[in-house]
Chain A
Amino acid sequence: MNKQDHTIFGSVIPITEDFNKNEDWRFERPVWDIQKCVQCGICYLSCPDGAILQNEDGYYYADLQYCKGCGLCIHQCATDCISLEITVERAPWLAK
């Protein structure tokens, strides 16, 4: 992501200039278990941001620049092959 560090009043605030990417919205990232995946494509269909792509072997993966970590794909998966991996620790008041 295109980020710049701006120093304002002595503290560093990251300012995002590329508003098409959602990288910094995410607390978790979806991870696919290839052994369980049957390549049905339901996760691809249910992603609101079009952030799920297919690799050469036919397995799906998340484009982490666009994924917001909403968890819709996990809820739709029939074989439970998708799980969420925590990338950023949530503050206690934001914990699910």
Chain B
Amino acid sequence: MDSLSVFDPKNLPRKERFHSGRRSCKGCTKSLAARLVSTVADSADPSLGGINGQNDGLSANTFAHDLVNTADTLEKFVSVVKSFNKKSASQSLTAHSAIKKPVIGIDRKVLDSDYLVLERFLKNSNGLVICFDNELAIDKLIRKAIPRPFIENGRIQPVTKKDVREAVRQKNIPDVMEKGDFSYMATACPSHQSDLIEKVRRGIDSSGNAFILVLTPCPTGWMFASDKSLDMGRHAVSTGYFPLFEVNDGKIRLTVQRKDQKPVHEYVALQKRFLTFPSGLVVALQSAVDEFYEDIQNTGTIHEIATKKLS
């Protein structure tokens, strides 16, 4: 966020577009991020329409869906936007009923597995993709690092430092950011609400497709108290574990600098999912995080970071 801009939560619109319900657990930051995005997207332009947060599928007048969990829903959304745009063009409807910038909230798991459907969506419409990431790459690493029975020792390869470095890189820069044709890319976290809101506004104002990766700490999956989910995001940013940056015209810029750098083991100790993670790998995680943060600070483009060979 620019140092001169002033953020006041009182200026945000009070109209809620997000439908609360039993889809999310207590203290879910994924639903908080979806709620903030819906509030901003709704206020940016009345022609954007609303966010459909109901479980009963997509209706004909849906403009945005807050969370896509399966490839089927994504495909449905793509076809709805496409048909609506065709309809508005053929029937010469008013400007308010045409979809200018559809906003889509998608789970990282779906994004990694079914990129082709999203590619179709990006080709047909000029949209903003919000990706909710609750660290699948790190979860896989933790699962891999669980001590195995003696019999399996020879069969399963142990986790190396290279694996940790790859996981950190993969977590912070998904393949889509490198492959996709985006005019604006950013990372955000609901713990830094003003930064998230500013980035969503920039994504909506950008000329082409935009992509925002949002870290969403999960109290149930990561095993911590529900009232600490925003603290977890703050820790992730202040340790450099999840740097907040934006990519405008290929150039990377850190939006939130880590001033008093905290060690990563403080962040790790807060979550019970790391209980089985060996302490030796926590040291490797710290060095991987530091290396990635330096790359972000010193390297000019995202392509260079993504294609950097790990020894």
Residue numbers in A under 8 Å from B215 (CB-CB): none
Residue numbers in A under 8 Å from B35 (CB-CB): 47-50
Which residue of chain A has the shortest Cβ distance to B39 in the bound complex? Answer: A50
Query: Could you tell me the distance in whole angstroms from the C-beta of A36 to the nearest C-beta in chain B?
Result: 18
Q: C-beta contact mask, A44-57 vs B, less than 8 Å → 1, else 0?
A: 11111111001000
Q: Is A22 within 8 A of B20, CB to CB? A: yes
Contacts A22-B21, A25-B26, A66-B20 given; does A75 touch B230 at CB 8 Å: yes
B130 CB within 8 Å of chain A: no
Q: Is B32 within 8 A of A44, CB to CB? A: no
Query: Could you tell me the distance in whole angstroms from the C-beta of B17 to the nearest C-beta in chain A?
Result: 9
Which residue of chain A has the shortest Cβ distance to B26 in the bound complex? Answer: A70
Q: C-beta contact mask, A19-57 vs B, less than 8 Å → 1, else 0?
A: 111100100000000000001111011111111001000
Q: Is B16 within 8 A of A72, CB to CB? A: no
B83 CB within 8 Å of chain A: no
Q: Is B230 within 8 A of A46, CB to CB? A: yes
The answer, among A19, A42, A54, A72, for a CB contact under 8 Å with B14, is: A54
A76 CB within 8 Å of chain B: yes
Main secondary structure, interface of A, reads loop
B231 CB within 8 Å of chain A: yes
**How many residues of chain B have a CB within 8 Å of chain A?**
28
Contacts A42-B9, A45-B36, A48-B27 given; does A71 touch B20 at CB 8 Å: no
Within 8 A of B (CB), among A1-31: 19-22, 25
Residue numbers in A under 8 Å from B257 (CB-CB): none
Binds A, one of B159-167, B221-229, B287-295: B221-229
B22 CB within 8 Å of chain A: yes
**How many residues of chain A have a CB within 8 Å of chain B?**
28
B144 CB within 8 Å of chain A: no
Which residue of chain A has the shortest Cβ distance to B219 in the bound complex? Answer: A70
Q: Is B21 within 8 A of A20, CB to CB? A: yes
Q: Is A19 within 8 A of B20, CB to CB? A: no
Bound together, the chains give a CA A74 to CA B230 distance in angstroms of 12
Query: Could you tell me the distance in whole angstroms from the C-beta of A61 to the nearest C-beta in chain B?
Result: 13
Q: Is B10 within 8 A of A46, CB to CB? A: no
B274 CB within 8 Å of chain A: no
Query: Could you tell me the distance in whole angstroms from the C-beta of B197 to the nearest C-beta in chain A?
Result: 9
B19 CB within 8 Å of chain A: yes
Which residue of chain A has the shortest Cβ distance to B34 in the bound complex? Answer: A48
Question: 9 extra interchain contacts, Cβ-Cβ under 8 A, other than A20-B22, A45-B36?
Answer: A22-B22, A41-B12, A42-B9, A48-B28, A48-B29, A48-B35, A70-B26, A70-B229, A71-B226
B interface vs A, CB < 8 Å?
8-10, 12, 14, 16, 18-22, 24, 26-29, 31-32, 35-36, 193, 225-231
Query: Lowest 5 CB-CB distances: which A-B pairs, in order?
Result: A71-B227, A41-B9, A70-B27, A49-B20, A48-B32
